[in-house]
Structure 1
Amino acid sequence: MLKNLDAYSIRARYYPALLATIPGLAALAILISWSRFGLTTVVASTAIPVLVFASADIARRIGKRIEERIYEETGGKPSITMLRYSDDTFDAASKEQYRAFYASKINLPIPTEEAEQAKVKAGDAFYDRGGAWLRENTRDAKKFAVLFAENVTYGFRRNLFGLKWPALTLNLALVLLCGVLLDRRMPIDTDDDTTMRLIVVVALAVVHSLYMGLGVSKRA
């Protein structure tokens, strides 16, 4: 499985999965005894990579759904809407150059401003096909290194945002579980190794929740 992973998958899918599930992975690593081989060790050894793999898959699927919802809220895919005559993100001369470049690659006539105003979807179809050509012809990560780096950053943030609420739910479950276990061990004995491990997991879950809650957002 690892042999088939490319740089984008690792950085934009598995890194968010690792970051989102750190408290759960830490809980498995901290609370389970690794000093001797047993059933719990086997379960933990299997659960850690499975949890990361499943989280990466979930992150991509939820991230894509969120992406579509954001497009709807903002009026469409930015790579399309920014090229419309009515949009002022780029100056008119630059947009004319971009449209001419697209037309030369996809062999379609450039939509006029009047035609685009009359039928926006027809104009958008031109920009969408141009964007599709551009994506297919800029996949060389070495030749288009800056573009690749920006795509990785975007994919990382989108997929991590997709895991925001699952991660917060996992953290809440960990805090509640550790809280129940600590309550049974009251009063807290700082010399008790298990008690200190539970406290560490709770602290990590709280700090991680602050990061996911405040640092991971739709704006990002």
Structure 2
Amino acid sequence: MEIFKFFDAYSIRARLFPAIIAAAPALAALALMISWKTFGLSNMIASLGLLVMLFAIADFSRARGRKIESKIYEEQGGIPSIVMFRRNDQTIDSHSKERYREFLAGMLKVAMPSPEEEHENQSAADVFYGQCGVWLRQNTRNSKVFPILFGENVTYGFRRNLLGVKHFALLLNVLVVAICILMLWHMSWDIEAPLGSKTTLVLIVAVAHAAYMIFAVNRNAVFDASRAYGRELILSCESFLVQSKTPARKTPARKSVSKIESSSPPPGQT
């Protein structure tokens, strides 16, 4: 579809899809009630309105999702990628996390908090873990190199943004249902008529949509996705550790290089 050209892969799945789901009853009504046999001025206006509406809802869902995000983290004890890096959290084994801390401390060129320092001042240690998370997010943006992490990030973004637009979606749902009921009432509830059958179909979509938004879209689903993403973000350290241990392949042009140079890390690694 042409509309997808305005979005990148993340935006399509984590921002546009929540907007489409939020507006599903309205989109169903628009698709069924307007005749698409000929493309006239009304169809052009409807298509333009649809594009603008999806952009607006996608932007609104992202803004609302980010606002809800901080509240969810506060309720659940903090940002998952920070919480899981703490020494008192057992989500990831302690030996692996110690290797990750040493590696990230070297990358950041800062001192790693000792167990005693962390025990005495968890907030100060969390500042370090927050810096680790920032470094990892900035260096794992290549979705082809980190496909699992990208997938977890998309799932989290999708759930967060959909939760952000939940109330708006339900309100829009109620509005569409009210309009459909009024239309059926004016048609004396003749659901066998072409327009009546289309209106009934929109009502079915609205009921299914409301059930999904009420029961499937919630804070726990968002937090579960954020923990899955946070865990994968920390585990991405393994990729960097493997790279740092992989020796550079010698080329003919490098055979005469001194031993000191040949023992240095390859370009882009520290």
Regarding TM over 0.5, the answer is: yes
Q: Residues 122, 38 of structure 1: CA spacing in aligned structure 2 closer, same or farther, 3 A cutoff?
A: same
Name the CA distance, whole Å, in 2 between partners of 1:45 and 1:95. 51
The answer to whether the Cα contact below 8 Å between 2:19 and 2:54 also exists between their aligned partners in 1 is: yes
Partner of 2:256: none
Aligned to 1:219, the other structure's residue is in SS state helix
Partner of 2:125: 123
Choose which of 21, 37, 50 in structure 1 pairs with 2:23. 21
Amino acid in the other structure paired with 1:73: E
Q: Residues 112, 187 of structure 1: CA spacing in aligned structure 2 closer, same or farther, 3 A cutoff?
A: closer
Partner of 1:44: 46
Between Structure 1 and Structure 2, whose CA radius of gyration is higher? 2
Amino acid in the other structure paired with 1:27: A
Name the CA distance, whole Å, in 1 between partners of 2:158 and 2:40. 36
Q: Deviations over 1:32-90 (max 9, x none)?
A: 23345555434312211111111111111111111111100011101001112232323
Aligned to 2:90, the other structure's residue is in SS state coil
Q: State whether structure 2 residue 87 is matched by structure 1 residue 85.
A: yes
Name the CA distance, whole Å, in 2 between partners of 1:42 and 1:7. 26
Q: Which runs of 5+ in 2 are unaligned?
A: 222-270
Partner of 2:235: none
Name the CA distance, whole Å, in 1 between partners of 2:189 and 2:142. 60
Following superposition, the deviation at residue 95 of structure 1 comes to: 2.2
Choose which of 76, 89, 95 in structure 1 pairs with 2:97. 95
Name the CA distance, whole Å, in 2 between partners of 1:8 and 1:46. 23
Runs of 4+ in 1 over 6 A off after TM superposition: none
Following superposition, the deviation at residue 209 of structure 1 comes to: 0.8
Amino acid in the other structure paired with 1:126: F
Name the CA distance, whole Å, in 2 between partners of 1:14 and 1:162. 13
Name the CA distance, whole Å, in 1 between partners of 2:8 and 2:177. 35
Name the CA distance, whole Å, in 1 between partners of 2:77 and 2:55. 33
Following superposition, the deviation at residue 4 of structure 1 comes to: 5.4
* TM-score (structure 1 length as normaliser): 0.91
Partner of 1:197: 198
Q: Residues 177, 4 of structure 1: CA spacing in aligned structure 2 closer, same or farther, 3 A cutoff?
A: closer
Q: Residues 98, 37 of structure 1: CA spacing in aligned structure 2 closer, same or farther, 3 A cutoff?
A: closer
Partner of 1:155: 157
Amino acid in the other structure paired with 1:207: A
Q: Which runs of 5+ in 1 are unaligned?
A: none
Name the CA distance, whole Å, in 2 between partners of 1:216 and 1:88. 28
* TM-score (structure 2 length as normaliser): 0.75
Amino acid in the other structure paired with 1:108: V
The answer to whether the Cα contact below 8 Å between 2:191 and 2:200 also exists between their aligned partners in 1 is: no
Amino acid in the other structure paired with 2:67: R
Choose which of 110, 113, 116 in structure 1 pairs with 2:115. 113
Partner of 1:76: 78
Q: Deviations over 1:100-144 (max 9, x none)?
A: 121011011111233223332211110111111111111111111
The answer to whether the Cα contact below 8 Å between 2:4 and 2:12 also exists between their aligned partners in 1 is: no
The answer to whether the Cα contact below 8 Å between 2:189 and 2:196 also exists between their aligned partners in 1 is: no
Partner of 2:56: 54
Please say which of residues 133-142 and 157-166 is displaced more in the overlay. Answer: 157-166
Partner of 1:65: 67
Partner of 2:257: none
Partner of 1:209: 210
Name the CA distance, whole Å, in 2 between partners of 1:170 and 1:110. 50
Name the CA distance, whole Å, in 1 between partners of 2:124 and 2:114. 11
Amino acid in the other structure paired with 1:210: A
